Structure 1
Amino acid sequence: MTHMLEIRWHGRGGHGLVSASNLLAEMAVKKGLYAQSIPIFGAERRGAPTRVFTRISDKPIRTRSSVKNPDIVIITDRHLLNIINPLEGLKKGGYVIINVDELTEAERSRLQDFKVIPVNAVEIALKADLKVGGIPLVNIPLLGVLVKLLDFIDIDVAEEVLKERWSGEILEKNIKALKYAVEVVEIA
């Protein structure tokens, strides 16, 4: 790793962004790297737009501020493209991982300066039966895409971290969603 990797997650309260960012940071630490996960939210209610930041580096991370110029942006809800600007500051040629079944022409046009990885995280969550109150959890499928994209984190470490967090049926569903995302998502 030659520079600090900065990731900005955009979603809504209840999408599990804080958990996904924390898990990614734990995976990086298990690989001998430095990492931090910083959630930004106030008194928002479930469903309100939220942001979470993840930094990973081979050197100690001194900054504690929000991520202004991320290498990767993860968007759990495509409608956020029209509500906020999740692409703000994203480095040209940076990655956008977006939870969609298919991009619209308008989205393609707006995302043309970036490397876009569309992923139907809802479908992946449903196939793994990863739901809370009947609502599919998209955080672990999106985390699976990151595991595939980031060459310094492997599936074994990802599974190990999930096993430290959960057990039983919940663990099985999370591992299934993670592995399925790694398997089906194409990264150009």
Structure 2
Amino acid sequence: MSKDATIRRLVRRETHSSRAVPSIVTATLVAAVSLWLALESVLWLLKDQPLLASPAQMFRWLIELPANTTQAGMVAAGAGLGTLALVLFGVAFGRGRRQRRSIAGGRAAVVVDHEVIAAAVSRKVRRATGLAPGQVTTTVGGRTVRVQVRPTSGEPLVAADIQETVDGELAAYAMDRPLRSSVHILNEGAVGQ
């Protein structure tokens, strides 16, 4: 396997969540129910006492279930099973991305958390504008970086300059998936900063 393929595999492992735990739990539950049903069937064929219920008893219970259960109970059970199915489909087919990004690292795989990127962008904006630490807030999402700036009272800021600073900082990271940035300057300023 080439070095590039190994690095790509490592980056994918760090940036995507594993589905091993839900898969193992689901497979264990399905295997346990299947083994129990198989054991009940074998005991029924051997005309032995069932552990919980014989296949004939289970079939009869299933046939009589609508008559013995209230309509609200059937709806609730159906909604519960539907919700479980949606959760399992969501886990199976969801994006599964962690809050991390791969950046250019030359000879090594470099993965950083979104929080680290947000802190670095905030620091760069604070230094470029001369603001205090509490006046710049950055959030990094799946595709966007949002910078919120609270200026010092009486000192106007130019949004285009801050946008250029943010874009320059993000370009310097050379991330695998580019981020769109937006800058929002609040109307109320900080007093005495």
- Which has the larger share of helix? 2
Q: TM-score, normalised by structure 2?
A: 0.25
Which TM-score applies when normalising by structure 1? 0.26
Larger Cα Rg: Structure 1 or Structure 2? 2
